[in-house]
Structure 1
Amino acid sequence: MKRTNLLKVSVFLIFLGRAWQHLFWDAPYRTFFWDESLLKPIVENWFGMNWTDYVTSPRTDTIIQTLIQCNGFLYLLAAICTLLVTKFNKKLFKIPVFVGGISLVILSVLLAKEKFYHIAQFFEHSIQFGLPFVYLYTFSENYEKPKLYRILKILIAVTFFSHGLYAFGAYPVPGKFVDMVINIFGCSESFAVSFLYVAGILDFILAVLLFIPKVDKYALIYAVVWGLLTAFARLVANFYWEFPLQSLHQILYQVIYRLPHGLTPLIVLVGVNLFWRRKSFGYRRKLLETR
C-alpha cells in the first residue's frame, strides 16, 4: 500500500471512529453547555431562564444530543469525502474534510476541558486532529514530501509524549490505563502502575529519537508497534465473550480512531526510506553518468 493511501486510510479511520462514537454513544459537549461559570450569565440574562431549569430541562438535553448526532453525520460525510477526494474534485470534497478537522480540534479542547484543562489531554490527540489537515496539504501546490514527513514526526512526537505524561504519572494515572493492563496481563495494580511508568519513559525517549538521524527508524518501528498495540488493547481488555456483539459495539470505535497512532509512524517509516533510497539511487546514477 502506498504511503499516500495509508494516509488516506488513517484519516478515514479517524473520522469513521468518531462518527460511530457520536452517532451511537456520547461526546463531551455537555462539559461546555453545562458549565455554570461560563454560560449561566448568558442563559439567565439573555434568555431569561433559570440556570437550574436550563440544566434539568429535557429540551436542553435533546438539543445537546442533536448537536452530537449532527457532528456524527459530519464525521461520516468527512470520512466518505476522504476516500473520494482527488486533485480534480478537491475544491468540493476537501470542504467536509477541513470542517471535520476543525470539529476534531474542538472535540480535543472539550476532552481537555473535561480533564480540568490538562494540556496533555489536548495534545494527546495531535495525530487525530492533525492528520486531516496533513492529508489536505498533500493536494496543495506547495506540497513537499520532506516537509510532510517532518510534520508527521512532530505529530507523532507530541502525541506519544503527551500520552507518556499520563502513563509516567506527571498527571494522575487514568484508572482505565491501570485496568487495561490488569485485565490484559492478569497482574497486580502495583505492577500495572510500574509497567505504565516504564511505558511513559519510553514515550519520552521516542519523542527525542524521532529527530535523530540513523536511529529515527528504530523509534518509528517502536511507534508503529506500540501505537497499534495500545489501540487494540482497548478491545482485548474490554471484550466479553458472553456479550460479543455488544462488546464490539462499545469498544471497536475506540480502536478504529486510534489505529492511526500506529499507521502514522508507518507512513513516515516507509516514506522516508523510499525517499532517501530513490535520492541515493539518483545520485549514484548521476555520478556514473559524469564519469
Structure 2
Amino acid sequence: MTKDQTQRILKISVFLIFFGRAWQHLFWDAPYRTFFWDESLLKPIIEGLFNTSWQEYATSERTDQIIQNGIKTNGFIYLIAAISSLAIRKEVSKLFRIPILIGGISLVLLTLLMTKEKFYHAAQFFEHSIQFGLPLVLLYSYSKRLKIERLILILKILIAFTFFSHGLYAFGFYPVPGKFVDMTIHIFGFSESNAIAFLYVAGILDFILAILIFIPKVQIYALWYAVIWGLLTALARIVANFYWEFPLQSIHQNLYEVLYRLPHGLTPLLVILSIKKQSGPKIKKAAHIMDSPPAKLKI
C-alpha cells in the first residue's frame, strides 16, 4: 500500500463527510436554531441592540428565512469543501486548503451546536471526533512535517474518542437514544429489553476497543473490529429506515447520515494500512541485515 493509496482513502473519507453534511444542509435541516432561538443568550442582544422584542424576533418568518438561508449557504460551503478534498494534490495543495479548512471549522461549530442541543453532553461532541478531525488530518498529510507515526497516533486518538463516546450512549451512561433502540429493533426484530441489552454489550465493546487499538500486539484485531462495526453502524441508518413503499424517499431522507458516518469504518482501515506500510521498510531493513555477509574481523 503506497502513500498515494492511503491518502486516496483519506481523501474519500473527508469527501464523504463533507458531501453528507452538504446533502443535509441543502435538503434537510441542521441545529442552528438551537443557538439563534436561545432566549437566555440572545434576548439582551436582540432587544438592546436591535430594539426588537424577543417575541417578534422569535416568531418572525423573516428570521426563520434568514436562518434557513444560512443553513443552505453552509451546505454550499460543505459542497465546495467536498470537491476540494478530492481535488487536492501536492502540486496545488494551497489552492484547496482554504475550503477544506473552512469546512473543518464549520464541522466543529456544527458539533458544538449538536452538543448544546443534547444538554452539553461531552460524549455528543467527542462522538464526532472522526468527522471534524479528518479534514485537519487531510491537510496535515500534505504537510512537509508529516510523520507516519504521528499520523497513526492522531487517527487512533480520533477513533478512540469516537467509539468510546458512542459507547457511553449505548452503555447507558447517558440516556440511551430512542433512535438506537428503534434501529436495533427494526434490524434484528428484538424486543425493547433485548435491544437495550444488545446496546449495553456493544457499548462495553466500544470501551474495550478504545483501549486495545493502542496495544501493539492486539491493535490490528481491534482495528478490524472497528472497521466492521463502524461500517455497520453507518449502514444501519438506512437499513432500519428503508421502506419499499417509498424507496427513493427513504434513500433521500437517510443516505446522508450513512455518508458522513462511513469514515467511522474507513478511518480504522486507514490505520491498518498505514501500520502495514510503516512495518514494510522495517521488515526489508531486517532482511537486508540478515542477508548481508558477516563483517571480517580485523586482527
Query: Would you say same fold, with TM above 0.5?
Result: yes
1:203 matched to 2:206? The reply is yes
Partner of 1:17: 20
1:247 counterpart residue number = 250
Q: Could you tell me which amino acid in structure 2 is paired with residue 50 of structure 1?
A: S
> If you compute each CA radius of gyration, which structure gives the higher value, 1 or 2?
2
Q: Indicate the SS of the match to 1:238.
A: coil
Residue type matched to 2:197 in 1? S
Q: Does 1:151 align with 2:154?
A: yes
Counterpart of 2:270, as a letter, is I
Partner of 2:174: 171
Partners of 1:205 and 1:226 in 2: CA distance: 13
Select the residue among 228, 232, 238 that pairs with 2:231. Answer: 228
Rounded Cα–Cα distance in structure 1 between residues aligned with 2:41 and 2:18: 29
Cα distance in 2 between the residues matched to 1:231 and 1:100: 21
Deviates more, 1:46-55 or 1:84-93: 84-93
Aligned-pair identity in percent equals: 66
Detail structure 1 runs of 4+ shifted over 4 Å in the superposition.
Answer: none
Mapping of residues 67-216 of structure 1, within 5 Å: 67-216=70-219
Shift of 1:289: 2.6
Deviation at 1:214, TM superposition (A): 1.0
Secondary structure of 1:89's match?
helix
Q: Does 1:40 align with 2:43?
A: yes
Residue 165 of structure 1: SS of its match in structure 2?
helix
2:221 to 218, 223, 243: 218
- Once the 2 structures are TM-superposed, how far is the Cα of residue 287 of structure 1 from its aligned partner? 4.1
- Deviation for aligned residue 1:284: 2.0
SS at match of 1:262: helix
TM norm structure 2: 0.96
- The one-letter amino acid paired with 1:208 is I
Aligned partners of 1:232, 1:59: CA distance in 2, in Å? 38
Structure 2 Cα separation of the partners of residues 22 and 234 of structure 1 = 18
Structure 2 counterpart of 1:96, one-letter code: P
Tell me whether 1:262 sits opposite 2:265 in the alignment: yes
Which of the numbers 270, 275, 280 marks the counterpart of 2:278? 275
CA deviation digits over 1:65-123, x for unaligned, max 9? 01100100000000001111111211121100000000000000000000011110000
The one-letter code of the counterpart of 1:274 is: K
| TM-score scaled by length of structure 1 | 0.98
**Which consecutive residues of structure 2, in runs of 5 or more, have no partner in the other structure?**
295-299
Matched letter for residue 238 of structure 1? N
Displacement of 1:271: 1.4
1:286 shift after superposition = 3.4
SS at match of 1:88: helix
Cα deviation, 1:131-152, whole Å, max 9, x if unaligned, reads 0000000111100111101100
| Per-residue Cα deviation, 1:136-193 (whole angstroms, up to 9, x for no partner) | 0011110011110110000000000000000000000000000000000111000000
Note the alpha carbon deviations across 1:219-243, whole angstroms, 9 max, x for none. Answer: 0000000000000001110000000
